[in-house]
Each structure stands twice: as C-alpha cells, then as structure tokens.
Amino acid sequence: MDFGLSQDQQMLRDAVSRCLADSSPLSHVRECAERDNPLSDQVLQALNDLGVAGMLVPEEHGGLGMTLLDAAVVAEQLGYAVAPVPFLASQVLAPIALRDAGNEEQKAHWLPKIASGEARIGVAISETIEVRDGAGVSSAAGKLNGTALYALDFEGADAYIVADSGSRLHLLGAKASGLEAIALTTIDRTRSVGELRFDGAEAEPLADDGGATVARLRDAGRVILAADSLGAGQAMIEKAVDYAGQREQFGRLIGSFQAVKHMCAEMAAQHEPCRSLVWYAAHAFDAVPNEASLVACHAKSHTAEVYRFVARTSTEVHGGMGFTDLLGLHYWFKRIGFDRQVLGGPEAVRAEAAALQGWTKAA
C-alpha cells in the first residue's frame, strides 16, 4: 500500500519542474502570450528532450508507455509554471486516441512521430459534451461537414482528431482540402485553441467503438485539466503566502493580519485534498476502470470550484498589485479559468457524474 507518487514519478516531477524553471520563466511566458501564436518552441523542445512527448505512446511505437498519473505529474508542473506549450491534446489525448482506436497503419504512421516530437495532433471533442452556436460535425462516406469548436493545441498542429456527432473519431491533416482552421483568441494566452470548419473535408475514421474512446478522452482530458489547475493553484497559494510575508502595512507584515492569514489557510485547506483526488483519478484511469469516469468528473468539477476560489483569493491577497499586468499573477488566474470551462464546466460535469450513477431519470 502506497498512496502517492512513486520514486520515478517524484524524479519526473522534479526534472520537469527544473526544466520549466529554466526554459519558461515568467518573462518568456509574457513574451509568448503577447504573440498571435503563444506556443513556445523553446519550452516544447526542452520538454521533448526529457521525453515528455512520448510519455503516452506505447513502447512498440517508440514511446515510453507511461500512465496517465505520469502525465498528470507533468500537467501539474505545466500549470505551476503556466507553461505556454501544447500538451493536453497533442501529448495526451491524441496518443490515447490512436493507441486505443487507431488502425495499425495510423499507429505506425503517427505514434513514432508524436513520440519524437516531429508531429503534433490537435483534438476537438467538445461537441460530445455540449453543443453551442450550432456547432457539430457530421460524417458520411469519409467526408466531414460542419464545425468543431475548441480544437485544443491548435496552432502548429499537423493534423486534427475530431469527434463527430455520433462520437466517432476522425483524423485529418491540417492542410486537408475542405478544412478551414480559424484561430480563436482565449483569455488564457498560454494555450492555443481554434475552430475547425469542414466542408466535405476528407478524413480517415478511427475505430467505430460506440463512443468508448471519446469517453476515455473526456476522462483523461478532465484529469489533466484538473492536474493543471492543481499546479497553477499551488503556485498562486505560494505567491500569496510569500507576498504576505514581505508586504508591510500599518507597521506589520500583512501576513500577520488574521484576515489575510485565514484567506491563505482556506486556500490551503481546500487545495490539499485536491492533490489526493487528482492522483487517484489519474491512477483510476489506468488501474480502476469501473471508477475512472466518475472520479474524473469529481476531480474536474471539484478542482474547478476550489481553484476559482484560490485564483480570486490569491489575487486579493496581493492587493492592487495582484490586479496589475506587471506582476503576471493573472496568467495563473486565466489558466485556471480555462481549465474550468474546457471539456465541461463543473455543472455540466456534475450532471454527467449523476447520470453515470443512474441518478438522472431518462428525459
């Protein structure tokens, strides 16, 4: 019995943390965030040198064959550093989709390239959770029509994996004819999201598995977003505590004021159990299949609530300084905001958790 990270996972965490401290200081994040395409080749390269790109690619395809908990360890560090790199779609969802639902040819073509960092695949599955603005993708005779909003890890993608309205996945090159890709500007300038419009675009289907793989992608994505917020929240709490230990007002450190102390204690008290919840959810994805979807929902929705509180409270502890662009605290605030909305806000996710337990009457 050992509930926690293994030695290897702790080493991975420390290595990624050091790598990001060197390659992705706040000055670099800021530089990236001010560009049209925020994704940083420099940080991506540094992470690839550690093997991050191939974590979830099976060994027989040149990857490391690691688990979602390993990926969650990395995601937490990315959130902690607000690192402007593609990860969720290109290094987690795409390899899982290909691994679980790709045919041999697709696997052999793409997986080694993902592992080596040569190829990046964006993923668009949001319409399987919630349809807005009339979006949605239909497929017939190998052609896609319609719109997929929120393709994740959009910029620089060589291909996209897209879910149609029947929860079947399709793969198509970024330059496929009949595909128009339009960048969306998000509040979180450390991520890249885009809209995909299909007009008879040719695509290869992945396996027809009744939506099973799409459901796995939702679970994995939610855990990774929760882990990202866990890291971002950790950083915001540390920053608040540090600031409260330096800033003086009324002749005292503000951290000695109980109102400030209690804001920090409340953040810590809510934050700490999230770590165990995220770890368990990630572990369950690979090891406890019958609990995986429910606990992914719990991790996603609970962290969404906790880190919204942390994001605003840490900002408040910093006073006016917290509100400035200069301090850069807002990068974490916005990152947490992104994690909350993507792949289902907490209400939508809780509704799904209720349905999974048979608590919702069929409409």
Closest separation in Å from C-beta 113 to another protein? 30
The stretch near another protein (CB under 8 A) out of 117-125, 184-192, 263-271, 334-342 is 263-271
Closest separation in Å from C-beta 284 to another protein? 10
Q: Among 64, 174, 181, 253, which residue interacts with another protein (rule: CB under 8 A)?
A: 253
Q: Among 268, 312, 328, 341, which residue interacts with another protein (rule: CB under 8 A)?
A: 268
Per-residue H/E/C for 277-343: HHHHHHHHHHHCHHHHHHHHHHHHHHHHHHHHHHHHHHHHHCHHHHHCCCCCHHHHHHHHHHHHHCC
Tokens of 286: 């690979």
Closest separation in Å from C-beta 151 to another protein? 28
HSE at residue 319, side-chain half, CA atoms within 13 A, is 9
Q: Among 1, 141, 326, 362, which residue interacts with another protein (rule: CB under 8 A)?
A: 1
Residue type, 170: H
> Judged by CB under 8 A, does residue 269 bind another protein?
yes
Question: Which string of DSSP letters, residue by residue, matches 233-266?
Answer: HHHHHHHHHHHHTT-EETTEEGGGSHHHHHHHHH
Closest separation in Å from C-beta 28 to another protein? 29
> Judged by CB under 8 A, does residue 319 bind another protein?
no
> Is 154 strand, coil or helix?
coil
> Judged by CB under 8 A, does residue 80 bind another protein?
no
Closest separation in Å from C-beta 340 to another protein? 14
Question: Which string of DSSP letters, residue by residue, matches 77-130?
Answer: HHHHTT-----IIIIIIHHHHHHHH--HHHHHHHHHHHHHTS--EEEE-GGGT-
> Judged by CB under 8 A, does residue 298 bind another protein?
yes
> Judged by CB under 8 A, does residue 255 bind another protein?
yes
**CA-wise closest residue to 304 among 337, 331, 281:** 337
> Judged by CB under 8 A, does residue 218 bind another protein?
no
Number of residues that bind another protein (CB under 8 A): 49
Tokens of 162: 């897209």
Contact 285, 219 (CB under 8 A): yes
Q: Among 171, 295, 310, 343, which residue interacts with another protein (rule: CB under 8 A)?
A: 295
Closest separation in Å from C-beta 82 to another protein? 22
Q: Give the DSSP H or E segment for 230.
A: helix 212-244
Binding site for another protein (CB under 8 A): 1-6, 69, 241, 244-245, 252-253, 255-256, 258, 261-262, 264-266, 268-270, 272-277, 279-280, 283, 287, 295, 297-299, 301-302, 305, 346-347, 350-351, 353-354, 359-361
